[in-house]
Amino acid sequence: MNSPILYSFRRCPYAIRARLALASSQVEVELREILLRDKAAAFLKASPSQTVPTLVLSDTVIDESYDIMHWALTQYDPEHWLDEPDTGRELVTYADGPFKQALDRTKYASRDPDQSMSDNRDKASAFLYRLDEQLAQNGYLFGSKTRLSDMAILPFVRQFAFIDKAWFDAQPWPHLKTWLEGFLASELFLSVMEKYPKWQEGDGKTLFPAA
């Protein structure tokens, strides 16, 4: 295998953050865009969890997005994303757990009528207040530039913000909003959100990041 293979889905926040780290690290992979409603047989065979993102290496498979980020950055970390305290991992763990659960129960409230959408939005908001306070110090979560935890969490803040953008814009989170707006306008984010056709057996290779 010439390049690792990344099975991805453009809008998935987990896949977005994996692509962000791969683009930053400049580690070239073969990108295979998957439709979640019509998963390719090769993907189902390769991924133990059958979820995106999945990174297929010559000797192993990584199907946790944070682990893909960490793997990529240990290959090459030109922007020093890994240079952050251990509390960064704790923050990401909370974002991936209670925050993401509350986000999903807000975004997909109709799927679980026993859950209160407003209560879950409040739970998610509590985490965003916490982030806003931390961002007030330097503009980023840990210092004056992007670190791993920023890029691991921002795709989920983006997802939450666009559930109800008017409501989100009315909230008192000035530092969080500036952080998110900078991310959405960044060359890195725009580059990883390029659209690719659905991959299928027999297609030629799509290399990512693009040269």
Q: 5 forms bridges with which residues in the sheet?
A: 30, 56
Among 3.40.30.10, 3.40.50.620, 3.90.1170.50, 3.30.2320.50, what is the CATH number of 5-78+191-208?
A: 3.40.30.10
User: Average pLDDT, stretch 14-32?
Assistant: 97
Residue 186: exposure state from Cβ atoms within 10 A (0-12, 13-18, ≥19)? middle
32 SS3 class: strand
Q: 143 forms bridges with which residues in the sheet?
A: 140
Interval 157-169: pLDDT, tens: 999 999 999 999 9
**CATH class of this structure's domain 87-189:** mainly alpha
* Cβ–Cβ < 8 Å for 192, 8: no
Report pLDDT for 197: 94
Crossing angle between the packed helical segments 174-185 and 117-138, to the nearest 10 degrees = 80
Interval 176-208: pLDDT, tens: 999 999 999 999 999 999 999 999 998 999 999
- The whole-model pTM stands at 0.96
- Residue boundaries of the structural domains of the chain: 5-78+191-208, 87-189
